[in-house]
Amino acid sequence: MDIKGGQRLLLSILLALPFISPVANSAELAAVRVAAQSDSEPKFIAHGNLVSGICIDIFRAIENTDSGIKFIGEQSWMSLKRIEAMVAAGQLDAVCGLIRNEERAAAYRIPETPLFTVAYHFLVRADDQVNVKNLDEVRKLKNNGVILVNGGSGAVTFLKNAGNLKIDSLASSTARNIEKLLAGRGRFFYYRQPGLNSEIRKAGHEGKVRILPTVFDAQVFYMMLGPHMPKETEARLVQALARLNERGELKQIAERWANY
């Protein structure tokens, strides 16, 4: 066979081979199903038809660190209760930004890297002169010291574990609890910063309420992964979060939203 014949044979062999893309194929792409948690600013914030916030920034940072990971569904709103139920049923894969407690440690796989830290304050009516500095002072108020807190949130566990407090967790939304506070159906509303300032502005209650300066608790928020998630995907998420933490990117994201 001459040289030209050999070249033609080699070309025919190459053309017969399956095309191999330089980009990872769909089988290698790990899709992580999530949802935007309603009533959770600044974790998730509605901007018209788009959702932004701390968790959206974290999702994008993870994707930039590992191009084989893709978060999907973060533009669809759901309540926390529904999100947790869907993760338990294997219909969603992860929840961004929850407090770690015994119940969640048993239900989820939780990467050790913290996402961000929040501080919890009491909100009171503007005309209420109360200025409690610790939970013992709240306990002494007895029935005049009812604490409103969003049902289903990790803050409920903290208040219950503190003991001997009058807690009302019937309402699951911040807006509803602020309305209850203004109506005198509770003395305090327990919520976190960042987030409380924006909730007050959004509800149009500036000047009607005030935030007590005392920090009653500080909690670290984590990513929660469903137990059904493939181990390989979990390992990649864990590694990506560790890298973001080492590079200081998680801290930078939290700082951007600190005063929200």
Give domain status of residue 179, yes or no: yes
Q: What is the CATH number of the domain that holds 210?
A: 3.40.190.10
Please indicate, yes or no, whether residues 127 and 70 belong to a single structural domain of this protein.
no
Range(s) of the domain holding residue 70? 30-116+221-256
Neighbours of 83 (CB within 10 A): 25
Contact 172, 39 (CB under 8 A): yes
Please indicate, yes or no, whether residues 213 and 135 belong to a single structural domain of this protein.
yes
Rounded to whole angstroms, how far apart are CA atoms 234 and 69? Answer: 10
What local confidence, expressed as pLDDT, does residue 21 receive? Answer: 33
When mean pLDDT is compared over 1-5, 34-38, 39-43, 99-103, the highest value belongs to 34-38
Q: How wide is the angle at C-alpha 41 spanned by C-alphas 40 and 44, nearest 5°?
A: 80
Please indicate, yes or no, whether residues 48 and 109 belong to a single structural domain of this protein.
yes
Please indicate, yes or no, whether residues 151 and 165 belong to a single structural domain of this protein.
yes
Please indicate, yes or no, whether residues 141 and 108 belong to a single structural domain of this protein.
no
Residue-wise pLDDT tens digits, 112-168: 999 999 999 999 999 999 999 999 999 999 999 999 999 988 899 999 999 999 999
For residues 6 and 230, the model is more confident at 230
The DSSP call for residue 28 is: G
pTM: 0.77
Neighbours of 144 (CB within 10 A): 10
Give domain status of residue 11, yes or no: no
Please indicate, yes or no, whether residues 178 and 242 belong to a single structural domain of this protein.
no
Rounded to whole angstroms, how far apart are CA atoms 175 and 186? Answer: 14
Range in 25-39, 59-73, 78-92, 117-131 the model is least confident about:
25-39
Give domain status of residue 20, yes or no: no
What local confidence, expressed as pLDDT, does residue 259 receive? Answer: 83
Task: Report the number of distinct structural domains present in the chain.
Answer: 2
Residue-wise pLDDT tens digits, 80-90: 999 999 999 99
Q: How wide is the angle at C-alpha 43 spanned by C-alphas 242 and 125, nearest 5°?
A: 135
For residues 184, 187, 190, 196, the Cα torsion angle rounded to the nearest 10 degrees is 60
79: nearest Cα among 183, 148, 176:
176
